[in-house]
Amino acid sequence: MSFDDFLYNFPADKCQSIYGASMSVSALADWVEFASLRGYKKPLNSLIDAAIDSGFPNEIEESMVENGRPASSENTYALIDQHLSSRIEYLGDAYPFYRDNFNQLVLRDDIEKQNNPYLVLLLVSLLQGWKRTQTQPRVTGIFEILVAGAFDKLDFTSAVIGTGENGGFASHLKAASQKLGIPLSTLNGTYSVKAKDEGVDVLSGRLWHDDRRGEQLILIQAACGKEDSTPSWEDKLNKVANRRDQWRQMLTEITMPIAALAVPYHMTDDSINRTLGRSAGEKFFVDRLRLTHALGTTIPSDLMKEVNKIWKMGDCFLKIAK
């Protein structure tokens, strides 16, 4: 596929909305990485010019800055350059691209694409952004497994109880409690029939197992939809946070859990502010940067069966071979 065909099939102006209105900068940065994965060697300014020619704004209105006041419009090139640079600075060797002497974003020669955490999560994002209707259920289920794997790498014990697993809520929760070694209170009719209705996809804990209160437990909502979809990321996270006491009762009061939202995207400052609101301590987010940081430079071997499914979809729908 020529670069002109790439622009036609994946027009950059759609980056204004494919991840949500406050995620346009992140979506366009992913589009630049997408072009690099497809082998198009173009200086960053040429890619941004092509994006603007396709209809992407020459200037982007960033609604939030560090001091919380509205910011004036900023040049698109400067914002994308800054966003890509932040990925390099945050991840270091875990970031699979580099900027060459011609200001081209190039995939590193020492990278094994198929088991690189960042590339896998980027592929999840691209599949959801560009081919959501064809890939949504399968990709979401695999993402839940990747999230559990990331927390396991941080020495948590995790169990998937969301849409990626078959069965009802009670069976999911029983299996998760057995894996984590957490005793359950008797479930009663006030709880949802399906785990997805509870808003929790992954249960993760770092536990002492000494039969005393004060354990560390996280209720994770794994979201692959757009930031401003219905329900929004903020709504999804708040739903879990508002049910923390209910979960504490189900888990025999060993702890008051913390709520978390996990997304495969690189969240912008604006989307973080929208999602977390004014809360502190009771909820947090995990985006692509944090998940990559947790997973490191290589996907764990026990997750590769699911990861290969992502690459198969990437090859089919995006023409990105592993």
Give residue-wise pLDDT tens across range 165-181.
Answer: 566 677 778 888 888 88
Regarding whether 58 and 132 lie in a shared domain, the answer is: no
- Give the up-direction half-sphere exposure of residue 249: CA atoms within 13 A in the CB hemisphere: 8
Radius of gyration from C-alpha coordinates of the chain: 20
- pLDDT at 16 exceeding the cut of 50: yes
Regarding whether 281 and 137 lie in a shared domain, the answer is: yes
Residue type, 296: G
* Close Cβ partners of 48 (under 8 Å, ≥ 6 residues apart): 28, 32, 76, 77, 80
CA distances from 132 to 224, 225, 318 (A): 9, 8, 12
Regarding whether 107 and 201 lie in a shared domain, the answer is: no
Structure token pair of residue 192 = 């949802």
Per the CB < 8 A criterion, the answer to whether 191 and 229 are in contact is no
How confident is the model at residue 49, as a pLDDT? 93
Among 111, 143, 170, the domain-final residue is 111
Regarding whether 158 and 105 lie in a shared domain, the answer is: no
Regarding whether 152 and 90 lie in a shared domain, the answer is: no
pLDDT band at 281 (very low <50, low <70, confident <90, very high): low
How confident is the model at residue 166, as a pLDDT? 63
Structure token pair of residue 49 = 């010019």
- Only one residue has tokens 């004060």, namely 214
Residues in the chain: 322
Query: Hey, which residues does 261 pair with through a beta bridge?
Result: 221, 285
* 237: three-class secondary structure by DSSP: helix
φ, ψ dihedrals at 287, nearest 5°: -110, -170
How confident is the model at residue 196, as a pLDDT? 46
How confident is the model at residue 173, as a pLDDT? 80
Regarding whether 144 and 204 lie in a shared domain, the answer is: yes
Cα–Cα distance, 276 to 273 (Å, whole number): 6
How confident is the model at residue 304, as a pLDDT? 96
Cα–Cα distance, 29 to 84 (Å, whole number): 6
Regarding whether 127 and 92 lie in a shared domain, the answer is: no
pLDDT band at 280 (very low <50, low <70, confident <90, very high): low
Regarding whether 214 and 313 lie in a shared domain, the answer is: yes
- pLDDT at 194 exceeding the cut of 70: no
Residue type, 118: Y
- Only one residue has tokens 């419009």, namely 73
For residue 55, the Cα-to-chain-centroid distance in whole angstroms is 26
Residue type, 96: P
How confident is the model at residue 216, as a pLDDT? 85
Regarding whether 285 and 184 lie in a shared domain, the answer is: yes
Question: Cβ of 249: how many Cβ atoms within 10 Å?
Answer: 13
pLDDT tens by residue, 78-136: 999 999 999 999 999 999 999 999 999 999 999 999 999 999 999 999 999 999 888 77
Regarding whether 96 and 160 lie in a shared domain, the answer is: no
Candidates 230, 228, 226, 177; CA nearest to 200 is 177
Regarding whether 138 and 82 lie in a shared domain, the answer is: no
Higher pLDDT, 256 or 221: 221
Cα–Cα distance, 49 to 76 (Å, whole number): 9
First to last CA, the chain: 17
* Range 282-289 average pLDDT: 94
The domain tally of the chain equals 2
Strands 202-206 and 216-222, by their bridges, are antiparallel
Residue type, 278: R
pLDDT band at 151 (very low <50, low <70, confident <90, very high): very high
- pLDDT at 211 exceeding the cut of 80: no
* Close Cβ partners of 180 (under 8 Å, ≥ 6 residues apart): 157, 159, 203, 205, 207
Per the CB < 8 A criterion, the answer to whether 237 and 221 are in contact is yes
Range of the domain at 155: 117-318
Among 49, 83, 111, the domain-final residue is 111
- pLDDT at 195 exceeding the cut of 60: no
How confident is the model at residue 142, as a pLDDT? 95
- pLDDT at 186 exceeding the cut of 70: no
